[in-house]
Amino acid sequence: MLLNLIAAVAFTLPAGAVLAETGHMTAHAHHAVSEQNQSVNASLEKVNADMHAAMSAVKLTGDADRDFIASMIPHHEGAVAMAKVVLAEGKDPEVKKLAQAIIKAQKAEISWMQKKLRALDVPKKVAAPANHH
């Protein structure tokens, strides 16, 4: 019944009025959130920008294994940095617990990937041709 009333009112108003009011309310909500969380927004924006810059700086070689790992290292480092923002600024204990788990898992994966990348970047020794007598 209430939904029918809302729909009836919405259809009787000019479309512009409905959109204008929705946009007005959205602008106020966004403005309030931005004021309250400016430092969080700035921190996350910086983390994202740094992560994307580092990922873009990876020199691709055409080796899918190597390039994947080289690209995932800064991606995981970005996840760790985002999780640290949550630990510093977050309020929800479950989200903070997830952030701690992400930091632990991602750091372990970063370590593994760094070792693997070093191994992949070692020039492969060409096997000497077999001696045929």
Q: Which domain holds residue 19?
A: 1-36
Q: How far apart are CA 98 and CA 27, in angstroms?
A: 31
86 and 57 co-located in one domain: yes
31 and 45 co-located in one domain: no
Q: Is the pLDDT of residue 106 over 60?
A: yes
Q: How far apart are CA 117 and CA 100, in angstroms?
A: 25
Q: Confirm whether 126 is domain-assigned.
A: no
Which pLDDT value is given to residue 104? 98
Which pLDDT value is given to residue 11? 45
Q: How far apart are CA 2 and CA 67, in angstroms?
A: 56
Q: Confirm whether 6 is domain-assigned.
A: yes
4 and 52 co-located in one domain: no
50 and 107 co-located in one domain: yes
The number of residues making up the chain comes to 133
Write down the mean pLDDT value for the chain. 80
Q: Confirm whether 133 is domain-assigned.
A: no
Question: Do residues 51 and 78 lie in contact, with contact meaning Cβ atoms separated by under 8 Å?
Answer: yes
Q: Is the pLDDT of residue 115 over 70?
A: yes
Supply 11's token pair: 């259809």
66 and 108 co-located in one domain: yes
50 and 23 co-located in one domain: no
53 and 32 co-located in one domain: no
CB burial of 80-119 (b: ≥16 within 10 Å; e: otherwise) equals bbbbbbbeeeeeeeeebeebeebbeebeebbeebeeebee
29 and 43 co-located in one domain: no
23 and 56 co-located in one domain: no
117 and 57 co-located in one domain: yes
Q: Confirm whether 58 is domain-assigned.
A: yes
Angle in degrees, CA 120, 125, 128, rounded to 5 = 155
Question: By three-state DSSP, how is residue 59 classified?
Answer: coil
C-alpha count within 13 angstroms, C-beta hemisphere, residue 132? 1
Number of domains in the chain: 2
